[in-house]
């Protein structure tokens, strides 16, 4: 759950919900992906063994695969749980791209909403049905301890969060990344339903930051059987963290005031680990081999000195 390290050149430290960020001198940083898992902006009480390594490996793979679309922050993978790279000034917007009516969009749609963050959702859609075209539903990137909030492009511009020119670049690149992610998923028998992208600036240059196309930031469906399930009104089989949210909701927890976090049994932990491992092996085409966490600090410092 924790990774308290002292790294060469360390100048600051930040603990996110699931990752520990070590800011280093000369504009560098090292991110350690922990085995913590979060949902509804709450950290669950038990870690998922190997989850951090799986997510970090997937994220690094996709960051490398999308460099032809936009540069990104990552530079090296000194350990399966660690990525090193460049520090950027983050743009405080999450660019959420949705190709299908599911998750938060479906919950809003079921409640009668037909507009989400300024994007239209047509009448008469079936749950999990594909939108005519992917939609962008941005969210504010909250500070530590606060909740992300839906926001429309109009509000983003009115608040001066970004300029109109930068917004257009963010939207265009997000849709291009999403189309590329959908293509890669399709080649592996999956459907990339929705995801989020985060961006930053280094000396005025727009770059991609954070993770990309992982099950923590994305929702995947199996292509096989998808159409039949949707037409019959059944939830399609999926590979994503949504099943964790569904499990929490079945226990009466949605992160609301007064909600009590349910107990996680050993079988719950194993199920979540198995889901992450399945997606890892499908997306990367190789079995997951967990790397020892012993001497992690020495491993990173040795790499930083090389």
What is the homologous superfamily of the domain 90-243 according to CATH? ATP-grasp fold, B domain (3.30.470.20)
- Quick one: pLDDT at residue 54? 96
- Quick one: pLDDT at residue 144? 53
Report phi then psi at 168, rounded to 5. -60, -40
- Quick one: pLDDT at residue 141? 75
What are the pLDDT digits (tens) for 136-194? 999 997 665 556 799 999 999 999 999 999 999 999 999 999 999 999 999 999 999 99
**Which DSSP category does 72 fall into?**
B
What are the pLDDT digits (tens) for 241-288? 877 888 899 999 999 999 999 999 999 999 889 988 998 999 999 999
Residue that has been written with the tokens 């976090």 in this structure: 261
Give the burial string for 12-40 (b: 16+ CB within 10 Å, else e). eeeeeebbbebbbeeebbbbbbbbbbebb
Per-residue pLDDT, averaged over 49-55, amounts to 95
Per-residue pLDDT, averaged over 3-30, amounts to 92
Is the per-residue pLDDT at 69 higher than 70?
Answer: yes
Whole-number average pLDDT of the chain: 93
- Quick one: pLDDT at residue 2? 63
Kindly provide the residue ranges of all beta strands, DSSP E only, lying in 16-123, ordered along the sequence.
19-24, 28-33, 38-39, 42-43, 74-79, 82-86, 89-90, 93-100, 115-116, 119-120
- Cα–Cα separations (whole angstroms), residue 250 to 149, 230, 245, 246, 268: 24, 22, 9, 6, 13
- Quick one: pLDDT at residue 142? 64
- Quick one: pLDDT at residue 147? 61
User: Sorting pLDDT into bands at 50, 70 and 90, what band is 306?
Assistant: confident
Residue that has been written with the tokens 């600036």 in this structure: 201
- Quick one: pLDDT at residue 239? 81
Helices (H), the chain: 51-65, 103-110, 153-158, 164-186, 226-231, 242-250, 266-284, 296-305
| Contact status, residue 45 vs residue 263, Cβ threshold 8 Å | yes
What are the pLDDT digits (tens) for 85-125? 999 999 999 999 999 999 899 999 999 999 999 999 999 99
| Contact status, residue 293 vs residue 81, Cβ threshold 8 Å | yes
- Quick one: pLDDT at residue 29? 95
User: Please, what is the angle between helix 51-65 and helix 164-186, to 10°?
Assistant: 110
Half-sphere exposure of 212 (CA within 13 A, CB side): 29
The model carries a pTM of 0.90
What are the pLDDT digits (tens) for 194-230? 999 999 999 999 999 999 999 889 999 999 999 999 9
Per-residue pLDDT, averaged over 19-38, amounts to 95
Instruction: Report residue 3 as tokens.
Output: 């990774």
């Amino acid at each position: 759950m924790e990774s308290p390290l002292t790294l060469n050149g360390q100048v600051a430290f930040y603990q996110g919900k699931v990752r520990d960020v070590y800011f280093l001198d000369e504009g560098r940083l090292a991110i350690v992906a922990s085995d913590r898992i979060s949902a509804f902006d709450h950290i669950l009480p038990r870690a998922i063994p190997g989850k951090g390594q799986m997510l970090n490996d997937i994220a690094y793979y996709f960051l490398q695969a999308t460099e032809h679309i936009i540069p990104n922050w990552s530079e090296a993978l000194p350990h399966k749980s660690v990525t090193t790279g460049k520090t950027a000034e983050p743009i405080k917007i999450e660019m959420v791209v949705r190709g299908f009516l599911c998750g938060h969009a479906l919950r809003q749609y079921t409640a009668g909403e037909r507009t989400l963050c300024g994007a239209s959702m047509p009448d008469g859609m079936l749950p999990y049905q594909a939108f005519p075209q992917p939609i962008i539903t941005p969210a504010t990137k909250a500070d530590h301890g606060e909740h992300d909030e839906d926001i429309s492009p109009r509000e983003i511009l009115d608040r001066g969060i970004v300029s109109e020119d930068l917004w257009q670049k963010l939207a265009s690149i997000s849709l291009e990344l999403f189309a590329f992610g959908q293509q890669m998923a399709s080649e592996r028998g999956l459907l990339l339903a929705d995801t989020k992208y985060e961006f930053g600036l280094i000396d005025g240059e727009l770059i991609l930051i954070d993770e990309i196309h992982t099950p923590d930031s994305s929702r995947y469906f199996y292509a096989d059987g998808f159409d039949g399930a949707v037409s019959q009104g059944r939830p399609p089989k999926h590979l994503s963290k949504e099943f964790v949210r569904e499990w929490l909701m079945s226990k009466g927890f949605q992160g609301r005031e007064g909600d009590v976090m349910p107990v996680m049994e050993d079988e719950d932990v194993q199920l979540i680990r198995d889901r992450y491992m399945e997606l890892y092996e499908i997306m990367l085409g190789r079995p997951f081999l967990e790397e020892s966490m012993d001497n992690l600090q020495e491993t990173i410092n040795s790499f930083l000195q090389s």
